[in-house]
Homo-oligomer: A and B are copies of this chain.
Amino acid sequence: MNTQQIRIIDRLTGTIEQQLASRDLTAVTATVASLPVPELVPVFDRLTLRQRAVVFRLLPKERALEAFDALPPPLQSDLLHGLQDAEVSRLFAELDPDDRAWLLEEVPAALATRLLRDLPEADRLLTAGLLGYPQGSAGRRMTPEYVSTRASFSADETLDRVRAGLRDAETVYTIPVLDDARRVVGVVSLRDLLGAEGDARVETLMQPARTAEAADGAELVARRCADLSLLAMPIVDSEQRLLGMLTIDDAVRILEHEESEDAARQGGTEPLRRPYLSTPVRSLVRSRVVWLLVLAVGATLTVQVLSVFEATIDQVTVLALFVPLLIGTGGNTGNQAATTVTRALALGDVRPGDIVRVLTRELRTGALLGLLLGSLGFAIAGFAYSPAIGAVVGLTLLAVCTVAAAVGGCMPLLARAVRVDPAVFSNPFISTFVDASGLVIYFVIARAVLHL
């Protein structure tokens, strides 16, 4: 949004908050009645849970449906808790099947069962079908509502099918072409149909279909859909029979969700499920405390290592001065490598099988960086203290950077190989490992150089 739109949203949010605080519900009703839904959603993102529930109940019926549909699933789930059963069922039934499946993953199990049970039969079958696929798979995110055609049909016949399916189908711009066994043999775009002669056969207009299986991970499929610039990707079973379509807008939402998850985990937190300002402080604490504890426990390792070398520090106290610098630099180097490789993994540019190539590249990169920093460290510490201290600092920097880059580059690949989120292994774990090993390297070098 540009600055002007941002100011409008802020002003509106402030107005609504004031009106709510003074319990002036008539004023709130008037304010939100005039708001189009794309302006309403950012306002909702900035209210607290209670405020959202109140405002939502004041929306006119049609607007409420539209707003509900536009909210992300965690906020939808919040809203359902405060509403009457009939209202809940109505909102739920109006969603598209794939959006229903997404929402059901967010609500408590008892509510999920009730929501499914209260659906009209046809809708329930559609939604239950999607839920049959494993969590996180493409099958959960595809839409079962689409228009299909046959290779032998004409362009006009296909356009008739499109017109007939307009009301229900989520996407009509990419049309899968099926054979008698419902296997996908190609796709034809609405654009190509319009540009062709009415009696042209679909098989002369169709393109090869890029498909994905319903059991494939949703993130991989979404990334492929985006890479190939597809408006919709046919989702098939292991026999290439069509099950549904994954549309680009759902692919984008999946990727945004995954990016948030990766960004959070690389920073050592669990991802937030709601927009930041609508997340209560206790949820912020909960998203961070586990990681912080794990890291702190790991860091006690550094206390152990240092206690082993306590006598050395007592002898040459100046060694203690460089500890944060050395392990900090090691941590940064490892973090850089892990960040780069984790992102490359996410984009599909590297895979666990590439570990040897990654290791050699990171060893070389780390050694070059360590050589540069080590020379600087030797020069500065040697000048400020003594050549011996300078040598210790310089050699440690060289060793630590090399080890850190290698470890940082390989950890994400190992994580992916054992099916753990690579972003989880980044920054946090690597810092701990590099800190402890860096200290050992430092004091071993110090004892050797200074003959302690």
Contacts and interface: CB of A to CB of B under 8 A. Distances in A.
Given A267-B336, A306-B321, A310-B321, A295 B328 contact: yes
A202 to B, nearest CB: 17
Nearest to A314: B317
Contact of A38 (B228, B306, B343): B228
A314 B166 CA distance: 80
Contact of A263 (B173, B220, B343): B343
A320 B323 CA distance: 9
A431 B328 contact: yes
B340 A267 contact: yes
Contacts of A281: 361, 364-365, 368
Counting chain B CB atoms within 10 Å of each CB, the highest count among A38, A262, A295, A376 belongs to A295
A303 interface: yes
Interface residues of A, number: 121
Given A2-B213, A277-B354, A350-B277, A318 B325 contact: no
B285 A368 contact: yes
| Interface secondary structure of A, over-half rule | helix
Interface in A237-296: 248-249, 252-253, 255-256, 259-260, 262-264, 266-269, 272, 275-277, 281, 284-285, 287-289, 291-293, 295-296
Nearest to A393: B303
A12 interface: no
Interface stretch (A18-26, A27-35, A190-198): A190-198
Contacts of A299: 324-325, 328-329
B264 A339 contact: yes
Interface of A: 1-2, 6, 10, 36, 38, 41-42, 45-46, 159, 162-163, 166-167, 172-173, 190-191, 194-195, 208, 210, 212-213, 216, 220, 224, 226-229, 231, 248-249, 252-253, 255-256, 259-260, 262-264, 266-269, 272, 275-277, 281, 284-285, 287-289, 291-293, 295-296, 299-300, 302-303, 306-307, 310, 313-314, 317-318, 320-325, 327-329, 331-333, 335-336, 338-344, 347-351, 353-354, 357-358, 361, 364-365, 368-369, 372-373, 376-377, 380, 426-428, 431-432, 435, 439
